[in-house]
Structure 1
Amino acid sequence: MTARVQSDPFDMAAELRDFGAGAGAVVTFTGIVRDEGGTLAALEIEHYPGMTERALSEFGQNAAARFGLSDWRIVHRHGRIPVGDPIMMVATAARHRRAAFEGAEFLMDWLKSRAPFWKRHVARDGATAWVEARPEDEDALSRW
């Protein structure tokens, strides 16, 4: 059960090697930096080291307790991340699929709305703009 923040790309296969041993279900999600209508070059992600990792760990521990997860992993990148690169991953393991799926969705909703990261769009022309919180991301928390 780990939460990690790093600048380097991660290897999904390596992350999942030996993950969730003995579980009946493993669910993974990988977020990719998507092109915003052909104008985005990259995302720049900032965070406070230590504080961010603690928050992610708390999210994972809460998910484990709530859904009976036997294992969980969160990996999130920071720095400049180009379009098409993985930005983060969540993996959950549980005895049954419903718990693994719900645990992963719970983590994704909390990460999207409450994780202490600050994102800035970097356009192909060099312009930058901070990414504002989206109401639909906040609304997703209401189901938990």
Structure 2
Amino acid sequence: MAETSTEHSRTEGEQGGAEDTSSSEPERAGSQAWPYAVAALLYLVLPLLLGTLAAPATATVLLLVVLIGGPLVLGALDAVVYRPAWTFAVLTGLFALVGLWIYTNPGTWIYAIGVVLLTRLSGAIAGALRPARNR
């Protein structure tokens, strides 16, 4: 019984207070934040330009290309510049959701889920393929 209480107190002592996650979770530097700006431009500004400058049928096709190609490219770029992260994928999906609410029919919100999944998938693949020195 004495050994058990000693082990229990040692475990509590080792766990101590608040965990220090600063070494395991590096913060994003300013030079690594540009993928967020690109995602915002891609989903909040580009649809306006496409709708204004292109014919309706062409704009629709181009928007579908952006909805599929955009998250694939953005997820990979963010994983190479920083690291693969769900936060970037979710934020990209939120940008897409807002853009879809503004520029398209109400039922198209479902595409934002695909944007999140494609962004995360391409980020995970690019993160696995990047050199170890950048990790």
**Which structure has greater helix proportion?**
2
TM-score under structure 1 length normalisation = 0.29
Relative to its length, the structure with more strand (as a share) is: 1
Q: TM-score under structure 2 normalisation?
A: 0.30
Question: Which protein is bigger by CA-based radius of gyration?
Answer: 2
- Higher-RCO chain (CA-CA 8 Å, sequence separation at least 6): 1
